[in-house]
A and B are shown apart, each in its own frame.
Chain A
């Protein structure tokens, strides 16, 4: 099962409480699986399947990360900009 949250169903939720439903739509589940694979950071997990292998190939080196800030920019604040891209390498911390 999957938990779905939506601002659009907030009124319904406030009135009727926790909502539940069942889908037998393969298309709908495949769409959710595509989103899960897309948002995976280093890896996703599942059963062995050709579809999952396709998702792995499609979203290889493609993860949610933050854009590299231009250090010479005149912006006063360094606000993180979320993007999908190859994961950025972090310099290794050698301290405590």
Chain B
């Protein structure tokens, strides 16, 4: 079996809805506000081997996670058909919850946050050990080496964290009443590389803290569904 190189964190089928008559989508990048790309869904929303994992024999498995994601994505089409007919039952809700959870944990917004937090933990622990004299003294001329050092975290660590984060997220979803809002405004919805969002509904837009809840535990969540 050939290895998949492009691992999409935004599924191709999800982006197809946003394509124009050229079968391309407009990509509004945040790191360069002058740049709007016009790309085929296959050419955006991916990183090379993003879900590859090391395996015991020393190699890497490039496909296992991608294949698992495909199974969940395939069920999504059934959900959409049934939602359109107003036939959303417990089985369909299970599909919905799985898909939303997957779209939350697989994206760089979540995986980078995990890796950055782990890097912060390693650095803080190292500096504490140094402070309490538990590390050898740095060589002359390198006195500040520990505070200047950059910590890198294996991307595999954020893959490992996806399952527990999905479970935690499932507990959040279980606290919510869910519904569909259809758009009859004539203004198309947009979507993003981080399509699951939630926050404290008591905060005004300018005060929103990402993924926060009110002191009473209230949350509002939005997830842009593929298909109108």
Chain A residues in contact with chain B, CB under 8 A? 1-14, 17-26, 28-49, 51-53, 55-57, 59-66, 68-69, 71-73, 75, 78, 80, 82-84, 87-88, 90-96
Contact = CB atoms under 8 A, between A and B. Distances in A.
Nearest to B211: A82
B26 A66 contact: no
A49 B36 CA distance: 11
Given A2-B181, A3-B96, A93-B152, A42 B29 contact: yes
Contacts of B83: 1
29 contacts: A1-B180, A1-B182, A3-B96, A3-B222, A5-B179, A5-B223, A6-B221, A8-B177, A8-B218, A20-B182, A23-B182, A23-B183, A24-B185, A29-B187, A31-B205, A33-B190, A40-B192, A40-B194, A41-B108, A41-B112, A43-B28, A43-B193, A44-B28, A44-B191, A45-B193, A51-B187, A82-B212, A88-B112, A91-B151
Contact of A36 (B38, B189, B208): B189
A43 B225 CA distance: 17
Contacts of B188: 46-47, 49
Contact of A1 (B25, B197, B228): B228
Contacts of A14: 177
B187 A30 contact: yes
Interface string B108-136: 11001101110111011001000000000
Interface of B: 10, 15, 18, 20, 25-33, 36, 38, 44-45, 54, 60, 83, 86, 88, 93, 96, 100, 107-109, 112-113, 115-117, 119-121, 123-124, 127, 147, 150-155, 173, 175-195, 197-198, 201, 205, 208-213, 217-225, 227-228
A91 B201 contact: no
Contacts, number: 307
> Residue among A45, A65, A88 with the most chain B CB within 10 A?
A45
A94 B178 contact: no
Given A7-B217, A36-B191, A62-B30, A22 B15 contact: no
B186 to A, nearest CB: 7
